[in-house]
Every structure is written in structure tokens, then in C-alpha cells.
């Protein structure tokens, strides 16, 4: 960042102090980012822009907060559930009305150009404007997007079109393109959230150095920047809420952030994740000489249960979605689990479908039959049993940095078993190969997916929010043969069925997600594992997501397009026989040479509605699976992976 402080300070002085941040300043930054694929450059452009905003952040940091949200195309923390993502046809209608063009012409342009944002920008460019509109501010754009996202009920479609039309009238240049893309739900400039977190941390560190106005050595600065990034990243994974983090950063700097922002009941933290292993031998190799524990890996839905100081109880999914409306019975049961001394807590657990009569666990399929919303306790037919496996917060204190052994002891001390409703994940600390094998068999017999093997003591057993950690290993029955794990992929395309399947999509094109480029990369075409009933359900789910053209952030072989493209939303879990390098598919392209990786003989397992489309198996993971397959003496299959 040599020279950054001086140049930015000069640049920022052109912004009137206290004046709102112009939206065009943000879109100029987006334009800069759009023109490069280099991570470092993207991060630098954004840092410089955020530094400017941080020097003039608005009251309570409001403008900085809004800018941060607009960069990741959100309006609030994702657990609050207010989302952008307006349907294509509605946006086309609004563009048509505001530019005086016919919707059919806009659709035709979209087919040629492939980006509605660009089509809108070009359509506006052709318009004669009499007077220059008043420049848009970040505050106004943010408020309008909020209004659009919150509009519900009768006439909501028309009201949304009205809002969009009005704001388009005031857009100039590339503002139009980015507003439209924001409305669609993705900016498509390759700006990943982790880059935003880094840039935000760097901007605040640079601002602090700027305030000190003294000469700083490059190595001091580099060290501070790296530490700042680490702190903001960690705090964000514990408290994923920029509404709290941004003002705290402005008030206390990165060094004061940890003290100001701690895990808080009511705000879901990003869950710790596990690494797959293929054999007991691999578990023993990885944990050799270390203390560990094996737990049943229950086959249900992750439930992060929070008890707030005010008595409120909230259940969050793996994805930080508020699931309280799905689990009124679970919420009613909570007071029975805890002693009177417990005033607040956060537990990590699995909610599993349960047969009260036979006292047996039921498979995930039964749980998925439960309604997601507005469930009334008296209508519930599928009961759930909660199996707690971690305690993250208790009576005002975060336990994340304690050893698992201690967290488990606290969990068992303050919580009690309630038959058919609440218990602890069954565990065994036996660590010989035979003991693990026996426990694995037992877990399968009891209706679980396998085992979770976790470090039990030392600093390696702390709870690591959002990390796919080597201190948690999963050992699933399915892995013992095959690739090593199932994958969660996003449906990006469909092929019309033949024969009996003409009214549905007979096969689907699936993609993984590359977190660096923010692109979906095709990985396989799947047509097996579906029942006729499932195909009908999938058709109903996917039909409304059909697009006129492929999205720019879906990477696919242009010579073999599917019959239809979809908005990447639906996530499915699949198993496959093996992975191969492919001239057609694009998964992890660049990580194993020019070719992509494809899944061979994929089989549908289940829909994963607890995962977002950008929270699926990453390109990096696909590449790791491929490498493990090669290391395990498997084939380095090349050239196949076609249809
Ligand atoms: P990913 O595929 O991204 O790793 P996932 O949600 O598909 O995540 P897995 O990694 O397969 O899940 O396994 C971890 C999941 O297993 C947890 O998210 C949790 O829902 C479930 N689970 C069941 N029992 C346990 C346990 N004892 N400890 C931790 N997780 C458990």
C-alpha cells in the first residue's frame, strides 16, 4: 500500500466532509474490480475505496455499513432473511417501462448479450435525457433496495416494478448495470466475501496508521495488516453481523474489536465443519499420539440452539437461517433440558427424526417431510430428538477457546436428558482401530451416518467457527468405498426428458462453486437416482428458475449447452463412482491443469435446502478429492468424463 495513505487522503478530501457517499464512487470501484481477475488487485482497489469511505463513514458508520453490504449484495446479516434476488421477468418489465422499449426486444438483447445489467445499461444509453438526474447516493440506493426486498402482499409485483423503474430513471453510466445485477442477486465481478473482509480490515488498519501521522516501516505495516485481517476474519465468524462489527471497528480499531464483538446469543455463528476421511487407518494416522473422541454422526439437520438472556429461544440451521418456525416443539422442550442456573446458552446439535413408539432414530428422509414454516405443535407428525454435541456459550461466557473436554463436561453438567426429546451425542473415547470399527458399526445399526472423530484436548480442540478443520474428521459408511464423500452441487442446467420423462427434466447439469472467482463450474450431468415422483417435484422446483440465457458466472462447455439454464439456487447431494479429468466439465479448472474435473456415474442422494448455492462443495474440495483418489492409488482418469 505504498503511497496509499497520501493519495487516498488527497482523494477523500474531494468528498465534502459529512456528505453522503455517491453511488457512482462505488460503481467506479466495481468497474475497476470487474476489469481484473487478480485477487491482490481486487483487494487493493476495494481497500482504497473502503478507506475513503472509512474516513467519511457517515453517522454511526452508516455509509460504511451500506457500502459493505452492497459489495456482497446483501441488505442485512443473512440470518435476518431479507434477500434480494428479483425474478428475471419482473426486472425485464421494469427496464421496459423505464426505457420505453418492448419486453420482447429486451429479451432478444439478453439472448445476445447474456447479461441483463448490460442490456439495461445499453437500453438507457440509447435514451434521450432532457435533464441530468440528481446523482444517486449509496444511502438512497440501499434504502430503495431494502424497500424492494421488503415489499410483500397484494400488488407487490407492481410496486416492485415501480421502485425499480424510479431508481433506473436516476441511474447514469454503469450505475444501471450494477443496480440491475444487485437486484438479480449477484454482482458478477468476482468479489468474494473473504476479499471484502480482508479489504475492510486493511482499510481500518490504514486509517489508524494515517491518524498517527508518523513514518511507518513497511514491515510494521505488513504485520499489522496481516494481524488485522486475522482478527476481523475471526470476529466475523463468531459474530457474522456487519451492523455490529463496522461501528465497532470505527470506534475501537482492529485491536479493540475482539473485546467489543463477542459471540452473542441471538446471532448465529458460522458452524465448524469436518474433513472427510476414507478409512479408520487414515483417522489414526492423522490423530496419532493425540487424544480424541468418536461421536455418532447423526443423520438429521444441524440445529444451533440459542437461549437469550431475555428468555427467547431461537433455532438456527447450518446455514444460519432462523428455523424457529419449523421447530415449535423443540423450542417448547428447551426449558426441560436445563437447570435453573442456566440463563443463556448456545449449543451445537443435530435434530433427528424420532419414532416415539419404537424409540428409534428415523432417517433424514423422514425429517425432510416436516413443513418448514408455520408449524403448529399439535399438527406435528414427525417428532425430533435433539442430540447435543457441543456447548459454545453459557451464562454470558463464550466457551469457544476452551478444550472440547471441558466444553463437554459443562454441557453434561448443566443439561439433562429428556427421554425422546434431548440427549448428548453418543461418544466413545476408545481409540484403537478395533474400538473405532466396533463403534462405527454400532452407529450404523442405530441409524446414524457414521462417526465424527474430534480432538479432545489441547488448543487443537477449540471450537473453530466456519472452519473445515483437520481437528474434526468425519467417517461415513459411504466413504469406505467410492470417492471419499458425497458432494453438494448446484443445479445450473436441465435436459428435457425422453420417453416416460417428457414432462419433466430427465437429466440435470450440476456445478460446484469456485470461491475465488465466485463462479459455478459444471461438474457432471445426472440422470439417475431419481424416482418418478422426485422428478416431478424437481421440475416444479426448477421451472420457475429457468433463465433466458446462461448466467455469466456459470462456467460451462459452450459446445454442449443443456436445453435450459437455471438460476443457481437448488442444491443437491450426490455420490459418484470416481472423479476424472474432463475436456467438457469445468470443475476446479486450473487446479489440476487445463482440464476440469468431472464426477463419473453420479447418483442423487437428497436435496440440501439447508445449503445456499454458494455454500456448496468448492472447486478446491473437488480438486482435493481428486488428489486423494490419485494418492490412494486410484486411477488418474483422463479424457473421459463426457456424457
Ligand atoms: P459439509 O458437506 O459441508 O462438510 P455437511 O453439512 O454436509 O457439511 P458433513 O460435513 O457431512 O455435513 O458433516 C457434518 C455434519 O454432521 C454437521 O453439520 C452436523 O449437521 C452433522 N452431525 C451429526 N452428528 C454430529 C456430531 N456428533 N458432531 C458434529 N456434527 C454432527
Position in ligand 1 atom list of the atom nearest CA 608: 7
Tens digits of per-residue pLDDT, 538-553?
999 999 999 888 888 8
Ligand 1 center to residue 472 CA distance, Å? 10
**59 alpha carbon – ligand 1 mean position (Å):** 42
Residue whose C-alpha cell reads 444501471 in the numeric block? 176
Give tens-digit pLDDT for 578-597.
899 999 999 999 998 889 99
CA of 170 to the centre of ligand 1 (A): 47
The more confidently predicted of residues 454 and 189 is 454
Give residue 530 CA to ligand 1 midpoint distance, Å.
Answer: 24
Residues touching ligand 1 (Cβ under 6 Å) are 273-274, 295-298, 302, 318, 350, 389, 425, 452, 474, 488
Task: Ligand 1, residue 449: give the atom nearest the CA.
Answer: 23
214-223, 269-278, 485-494, 537-546: which range is least confident on average? 214-223
Q: Is 130 exposed, middle or buried (0-12, 13-18, 19+ CB in 10 A)?
A: exposed
Question: What residue's CA is closest to ligand 1, atom 1?
Answer: 273
d(CA 553, CA 550): 8
For residue 468, the ligand 1 atom closest to its alpha carbon is 4
pTM of the model: 0.85
What integer is the mean pLDDT of 133-144? 95
Q: Categorize the per-residue pLDDT at 640 as very low, low, confident or very high, splitting at 50, 70 and 90.
A: very low
CA of 208 to the centre of ligand 1 (A): 40
Exposure string of 250-277, with b = 16+ CB inside 10 Å and e = fewer, is: beebbeebeebbbbbbbbbbbbbebbbb
3-state secondary structure 18-65: CCCCEHHHHHHHHHHHHCCCCHHHHHHHHHHHHHHHHHCCCHHHHHHH
Residue 174 buriedness (CB in 10 A; 0-12 / 13-18 / 19+): middle
Residues 216-225, mean pLDDT to the nearest whole number = 86
Using alpha carbons, select from 52, 96, 46, 92 the residue that is nearest to residue 72.
46
Protein residue whose Cα sits closest to atom 7 of ligand 1: 488
Structure confidence at residue 483 (pLDDT): 58
The residues that are catalytic are 297
Asked whether the predicted pLDDT for residue 242 surpasses 60, the reply is yes
Comparing C-alpha atoms, which of 611, 291, 300, 556 is closest to residue 429? 291
Distance CA 507, CA 453 (A): 36
Reply yes or no on whether the pLDDT at 183 is more than 50. Answer: yes
Quick one: pLDDT at residue 144?
97
| Percent of the chain at pLDDT exceeding 90 | 69
Measured from the Cβ of residue 247, the count of other Cβ atoms closer than 10 Å reads: 18
Residue 237, classed as helix, strand or coil, is: helix
Residue 431, C-beta contacts closer than 8 angstroms, at least 6 positions apart: 284, 287, 291, 292, 294
Query: Which atom of ligand 1 has the smallest separation from the CA of 488?
Result: 2
Q: How confident is the model at residue 54 (pLDDT cuts 50, 70, 90)?
A: very high
Which residues, other chains included, contact 586 with Cβ-Cβ below 8 Å and sequence gap of 6+? Answer: 511, 521, 522, 523, 555, 556, 557, 596
pLDDT band at 639; cut points 50, 70, 90: very low
Query: Which of 273, 424, 622 is the best mutation target for the ligand 1 pocket, counting ligand atoms within 8 Å of the beta carbon and taking the most?
Result: 273
User: What pLDDT does 243 receive?
Assistant: 96
The pLDDT, as a whole number, for residue 641 is 42
For the chain, what is the total number of helices (H) and then of strands (E)? 21, 22
How high is the pLDDT of residue 11? 73
C-alpha span between 232 and 236 (Å, rounded): 6
Name which residue leads in pLDDT, 218 or 12: 218
d(CA 267, CA 263): 7
Range 3-21 burial, b when 16+ CB lie within 10 A, else e: ebbeebeeebeebeeeebb
Q: Which of 268, 271, 298 to mutate to test the pocket of ligand 1 (most atoms within 8 A of CB)?
A: 298
Q: What is the ipTM of this complex?
A: 0.96
Tell me how far apart the alpha carbons of residues 417 and 536 are, in angstroms, rounded to a whole number: 42
In this structure, which residue's CA is closest to atom 6 in ligand 1?
Answer: 318
Among 302, 347, 411, 455, the mutation site with the greatest number of ligand 1 atoms within 8 A of its Cβ is: 302
Amino acid at each position: 500500500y505504498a503511497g496509499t495513505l497520501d493519495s487516498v487522503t488527497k482523494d477523500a478530501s474531494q468528498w465534502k466532509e459529512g456528505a453522503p457517499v455517491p453511488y457512482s464512487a462505488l460503481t467506479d470501484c466495481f468497474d475497476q474490480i470487474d476489469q481484473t481477475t487478480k485477487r491482490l488487485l481486487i483487494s487493493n482497489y476495494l481497500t482504497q475505496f473502503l478507506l475513503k469511505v472509512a474516513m467519511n463513514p457517515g453517522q454511526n458508520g452508516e455509509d460504511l455499513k451500506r457500502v459493505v453490504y452492497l459489495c456482497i449484495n446483501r441488505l442485512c446479516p443473512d440470518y435476518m432473511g431479507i434477500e434480494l434476488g428479483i425474478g428475471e421477468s419482473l426486472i425485464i418489465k421494469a427496464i421496459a417501462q423505464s426505457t420505453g422499449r418492448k419486453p420482447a426486444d429486451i429479451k432478444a438483447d439478453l439472448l445476445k448479450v447474456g447479461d441483463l445489467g448490460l442490456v439495461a445499461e445499453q437500453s438507457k444509453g440509447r435514451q434521450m435525457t432532457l435533464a441530468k438526474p440528481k446523482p444517486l447516493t449509496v444511502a438512497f440506493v440501499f434504502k430503495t433496495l431494502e424497500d424492494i426486498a421488503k415489499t410483500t402482499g397484494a400488488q407487490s409485483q407492481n410496486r416492485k416494478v415501480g421502485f425499480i423503474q424510479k431508481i433506473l430513471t436516476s441511474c447514469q453510466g454503469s450505475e444501471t448495470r450494477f443496480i440491475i445485477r444487485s437486484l438479480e442477486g449477484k454482482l458478477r465481478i468476482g468479489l468474494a466475501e473473504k476479499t471484502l473482509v480482508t479489504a475492510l480490515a486493511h482499510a481500518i488498519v490504514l486509517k489508524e496508521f494515517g491518524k498517527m501521522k508518523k513514518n511507518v516501516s513497511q514491515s510494521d505495516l505488513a504485520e499489522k495488516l496481516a494481524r488485522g485481517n486475522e482478527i476481523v476474519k475471526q470476529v466475523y465468524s463468531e459474530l457474522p453481523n456487519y451492523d455490529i462489527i463496522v461501528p465497532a471497528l470505527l470506534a475501537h480499531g482492529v485491536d479493540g474489536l475482539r473485546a467489543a464483538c463477542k459471540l452473542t446469543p441471538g446471532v448465529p455463528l458460522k458452524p465448524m465443519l469436518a474433513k472427510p476421511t476414507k478409512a479408520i487407518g487414515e483417522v489414526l494416522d492423522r490423530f496419532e499420539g493425540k487424544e480424541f473422541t468418536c461421536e455418532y454422526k447423526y443423520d438429521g439437520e444441524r440445529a444451533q440452539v440459542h437461549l437469550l438472556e431475555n428468555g427467547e429461544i431461537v433455532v438456527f440451521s447450518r446455514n444460519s437461517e432462523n428455523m424457529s418456525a419449523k421447530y415449535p416443539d423443540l423450542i417448547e422442550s428447551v426449558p426441560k433440558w436445563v437447570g435453573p442456573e442456566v440463563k443463556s446458552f448456545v449449543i451445537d446439535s443435530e435434530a433427528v427424526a424420532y419414532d416415539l413408539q419404537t424409540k428409534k432414530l428415523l432417517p433424514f428422509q423422514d425429517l425432510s417431510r416436516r413443513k418448514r414454516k408455520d408449524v403448529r405443535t399439535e399438527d406435528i407428525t414427525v417428532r425430533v430428538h435433539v442430540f447435543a454435541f457441543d456447548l459454545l456459550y453459557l451464562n454470558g461466557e463464550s466457551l469457544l477457546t476452551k478444550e472440547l473436554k471441558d466444553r463437554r463436561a459443562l454441557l453434561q453438567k448443566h443439561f439433562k436428558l429428556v427421554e425422546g426429546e434431548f440427549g448428548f451425542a453418543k461418544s466413545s473415547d476408545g481409540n484403537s482401530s478395533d474400538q473405532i470399527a466396533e463403534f462405527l458399526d454400532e452407529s450404523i445399526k442405530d441409524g446414524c451416518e457414521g462417526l465424527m472423530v474430534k480432538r479432545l484436548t489441547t488448543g487443537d480442540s477449540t471450537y473453530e467457527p466456519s472452519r473445515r478443520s483437520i481437528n474434526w474428521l468425519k467417517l461415513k459408511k459411504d466413504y469406505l468405498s467410492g470417492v471419499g464423500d458425497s458432494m453438494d452441487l448446484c443445479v445450473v442446467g436441465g435436459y428435457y426428458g425422453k420417453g416416460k420423462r417428457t414432462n419433466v427434466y430427465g437429466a440435470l447439469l450440476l456445478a460446484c462453486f469456485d470461491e475465488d472467482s465466485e463462479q459455478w463450474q459444471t461438474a457432471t450431468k445426472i440422470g439417475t437416482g431419481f424416482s418418478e415422483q422426485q422428478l416431478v417435484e424437481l421440475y416444479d422446483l426448477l421451472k420457475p428458475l429457468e433463465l433466458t440465457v446462461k448466467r455469466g458466472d456459470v462456467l460451462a462447455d459452450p459446445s454442449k449447452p443443456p436445453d435450459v439454464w437455471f438460476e443457481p439456487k437448488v442444491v443437491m447431494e450426490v455420490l459418484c463412482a470416481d472423479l476424472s479429468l474432463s475436456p467438457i466439465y469445468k470443475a476446479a479448472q486450473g487446479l489440476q491443469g487445463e482440464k476440469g474435473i468431472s464426477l463419473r456415474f453420479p447418483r442423487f442422494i437428497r436435496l440440501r435446502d439447508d445449503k445456499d448455492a454458494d455454500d456448496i462443495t468448492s472447486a478446491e474440495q473437488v480438486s482435493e478429492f481428486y488428489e486423494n483418489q490419485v494418492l490412494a492409488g486410484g486411477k488418474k482418469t483422463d479424457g473421459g468424463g463426457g456424457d
